[in-house]
Amino acid sequence: MSSTEFNSLLLGNADFLRPYAVTLTKDSESAKDLYQETLFRALSNRDKYLAGTNIRAWLYTIMRNIFINNYRRGNRQYRLLDNAVGDYLLSHQPSAIGNFAESDLRVKDVQMAVYNLPVIFKQPFLLYFEGYKYYEIAAILNEPLGTVKSRIHFARKMLKTRITRH
């Protein structure tokens, strides 16, 4: 499929994404951003689209995955609108103060548990924890994707057993 054919197919089937973006984000500005990001990713990954398959399902999947990844990364911002002129956005400030001494002890426990993991599990887990995707970790460590996923899974299981909840 040529890029011109793909572009016309994409543009002819992209309008249905707008309401879906609003449904996911519950915000018109975030929905516009999600819509644009979806079209950008579809254009940049047009070689992965199989001609003759359902392009709407493909676009839905791209949009849903972008939304989920952004949500998991914490891109969702808590904002309050000030009713003053211009409707300035204010950052959300938590009203409760945490017990930092206790949380520091927990962080040290977690760090020690991660440090004590076998190297074969620690490397992929730390890369995943830093935000790398599975396929990126597989490329960095020169390991198969399934091996990386299982090692991260087992590292999590080991950490759960080593870190006791109080």
| pLDDT string in tens for the chain (166-residue length) | 788 888 888 888 888 888 888 888 888 888 899 999 998 998 888 888 888 888 888 888 999 999 888 888 774 444 444 444 444 455 445 555 665 665 566 777 788 888 888 999 999 998 898 888 999 999 999 999 999 999 999 999 988 888 865 4
Is 159:114 a contact under the CB 8 Å cutoff? yes
Instruction: Measure Cα distances from 83 to 56, 65, 129 in Å.
Output: 40, 34, 39
- Provide the strand spans (E) within the chain: 79-81, 89-91
Structural domains of the chain ordered from first start? 1-84 (1.10.1740.10), 99-165 (1.10.10.10)
DSSP, res 81: E
Cα separation, 1 vs 58, in Å, equals: 16
Burial string for 49-65 (b: 16+ CB within 10 Å, else e) reads beeeeebeebbeebbee
pLDDT of residue 100: 61
The pLDDT of residue 97 is 61
